A and B are shown apart, each in its own frame.
Chain A
């Protein structure tokens, strides 16, 4: 069971939303509905599961229903039809008291325009969630002070929000959400109002804090670069409908339709895609035990290079030419091995590029304990970075789009 589930959620804005819902269920579209009934279709039959501990990004153009969707999770807006479940419980059925409790203990939120209390000091703003919940002043101020430091605002506790820059105000917003100690944080275009430099600073900060706390983050943005930078998974909305849901690599490599393709077109793919997308199974592993047959295997399979494994760890490459020269009988893996650095699967391609370009042979992908998990052929790099010029075989172990 996922932490947050949206189940066939449809949201209509207008006086008689239930009647409009019947029309939508009978097949009426957004434009038609607006023209004929004056009702706006905010979300249309959206279902998705959000897992605990992930950064889940919802992306789409302005008006596609992102803000509406995120507000269903804490019920700042109620859907017209469908269910929203948290831990399997339908929150649309909660009593007013239980709803307030849900907002106080489970879900915090960060807003595009910050939503800070202008008449309160920074410290009181950060402590606001705790204050609402009834935590005693001393305790909540201690917690707030802790978070003040963790978001880099030491010395500003007594300032008023109006005296801070946009970036600093949003640090306050972030600290306020984190200080509430909820397991879910909703962020509606939280960084969209900020300068690019400040924005990327806060993106890094968010990822760092999320990894440290393990909170579930639902992040709304209209900016694909931001989505790719943050997301474990991305959902793409168009006119209130879910058009694609998948990992960043899924979205980039296999856009579901022209709308997603248009988003994806201008992305810096070298930065957005990871080495993982280039992974191929290692052609030939060579150990001390197998070095004797290596040359025969190479001749047979027409491979030029093998990957040397010592004590389970990748150490370098052996070429067919050097094996031929040494003569199979006297060769040892250690003596013939040429060092060639490996790369990690989760590296952005951009980071791995120097290694890839330097290497004479396909480059080894190694995991945290030094084991060889695959290789990258240099010729695939240009294919992946320029998708127009040829199809890319999907990597074997990719999760299918859900």
Chain B
């Protein structure tokens, strides 16, 4: 008798069988989702690339100013964006930005309701939290394979994998933010006859918005950290450039891609954080 029974084959076989099953029976559904996501992505990508770089640089500067109300910060953001163009990475950066925007968009659409649900029910939270832990600890390659099988190679599985990797902090912080809202204010709202939706809309969401914004910020950062991995299953953009550098043993190319990712990260991070801080103005008693 062998000390180790063979668990490998049954698990692998069952998983493959499940995947086959999904593809055969729900292939159409996956394709429909895939097409929808792709449609949105192409729209965003086209829009971003249609904007002349000069205009884009100004827009980013204005956005940074609107978020933080600081001129230095706005100028630095614009300069960073200009540098991306100077590095010859403009088109790649716009492709990456499109993937990030769509991934974060999907994360928000799915993550906010899940976070709110978790906040309102201890049962939901007990089930959801271990799943989130799992999503963050499983190496992304593990779900990159089934994602590619279900949605085909290319941008859509890359986005799906990015969403799986990036959505947990948003759900967690939405849940936390809503549960942290002063119970006295929620009670007051209830006492005046607010429905659950009204409590959510007039009290819980606005008061947890700074925390939710933190979640969006973290989700965005994590999505950005996925770009190189996502490019392995066919996502275009900056990640692809880094990957090419790797494959061709071209350190220079890799570094240029790396710098671009850092610039994107810093600019996006600062803008979302500044916006989150501005949401807390009333706390200072303005």
Interface residues of A (CB under 8 A from B): 74, 76, 100-105, 107-109, 111, 113-119, 128-129, 131-133, 160, 162-163, 176, 180, 186
How many angstroms between the C-alpha atoms of A132 and B202 in the bound complex? Answer: 9
Q: Are A160 and B286 in contact (CB under 8 A)?
A: yes
Residue in B191, B198, B282 whose CB lies within 8 Å of A109:
B191
A-B contact pairs, 28 of them (CB 8 A): A76-B187, A100-B194, A103-B190, A105-B193, A108-B191, A109-B191, A111-B184, A115-B185, A115-B187, A115-B188, A117-B185, A117-B188, A117-B202, A117-B203, A118-B185, A118-B207, A118-B282, A118-B283, A119-B206, A128-B189, A132-B192, A132-B198, A132-B202, A133-B193, A160-B286, A162-B284, A180-B192, A186-B191
B285 to chain A: which residues have CB within 8 Å?
A: 160, 162-163
Q: Summarize B's interface: helix, strand, loop or mixed.
A: helix
Q: Are A103 and B185 in contact (CB under 8 A)?
A: no
Q: Are A103 and B207 in contact (CB under 8 A)?
A: no
Whether B137 sits at the interface, judged by CB under 8 Å, is no
Contacts A118-B207, A119-B206, A132-B198 hold; do A109 and B284 have CB atoms under 8 A apart?
Answer: no
How many angstroms between the C-alpha atoms of A162 and B198 in the bound complex? Answer: 23
How many angstroms between the C-alpha atoms of A111 and B190 in the bound complex? Answer: 12
Residue in B190, B193, B286 whose CB lies within 8 Å of A101:
B193
B172-211 with Cβ < 8 A to chain A: 182, 184-185, 187-195, 198, 202-203, 206-207
How many angstroms between the C-alpha atoms of A290 and B69 in the bound complex? Answer: 91
How many angstroms between the C-alpha atoms of A116 and B206 in the bound complex? Answer: 13
Residue in B184, B193, B195, B198 whose CB lies within 8 Å of A115:
B184
B284 to chain A: which residues have CB within 8 Å?
A: 162
How many angstroms between the C-alpha atoms of A265 and B58 in the bound complex? Answer: 75
Across the A-B interface, the 8 shortest Cβ-Cβ residue pairs: A115-B188, A104-B193, A103-B193, A162-B285, A163-B285, A109-B191, A129-B192, A160-B282
Q: Are B188 and A111 in contact (CB under 8 A)?
A: yes
How many angstroms between the C-alpha atoms of A189 and B189 in the bound complex? Answer: 18
B207 to chain A: which residues have CB within 8 Å?
A: 118-119
Q: Are B192 and A128 in contact (CB under 8 A)?
A: yes
Q: Are A132 and B188 in contact (CB under 8 A)?
A: no
Residue in B190, B198, B203, B283 whose CB lies within 8 Å of A76:
B190
Q: Are A103 and B283 in contact (CB under 8 A)?
A: no
How many angstroms between the C-alpha atoms of A102 and B184 in the bound complex? Answer: 20
CB-based nearest B residue for A115: B188
How many angstroms between the C-alpha atoms of A105 and B192 in the bound complex? Answer: 9
B242-286 with Cβ < 8 A to chain A: 282-286
CB-based nearest A residue for B192: A129
How distant is A200 from chain B, measured CB to nearest CB, in Å?
24
How distant is B61 from chain A, measured CB to nearest CB, in Å?
29
How many angstroms between the C-alpha atoms of A72 and B100 in the bound complex? Answer: 50
Interface centre among A100, A105, A119, A128, by most chain B C-beta atoms within 10 angstroms, is: A119
How many angstroms between the C-alpha atoms of A186 and B192 in the bound complex? Answer: 11
A118 to chain B: which residues have CB within 8 Å?
A: 182, 185, 207, 282-283
Contacts A113-B184, A117-B185, A117-B203 hold; do A163 and B286 have CB atoms under 8 A apart?
Answer: yes
- Other CB < 8 Å A-B pairs besides A111-B187, A163-B286, 20 of them? A76-B190, A100-B194, A100-B195, A103-B192, A104-B193, A107-B191, A108-B192, A111-B191, A115-B184, A115-B185, A115-B191, A117-B203, A131-B202, A132-B192, A132-B198, A160-B285, A160-B286, A162-B284, A163-B285, A186-B191
Q: Are A109 and B188 in contact (CB under 8 A)?
A: yes
Interface centre among B189, B193, B203, by most chain A C-beta atoms within 10 angstroms, is: B193
Interface centre among B192, B194, B206, by most chain A C-beta atoms within 10 angstroms, is: B192
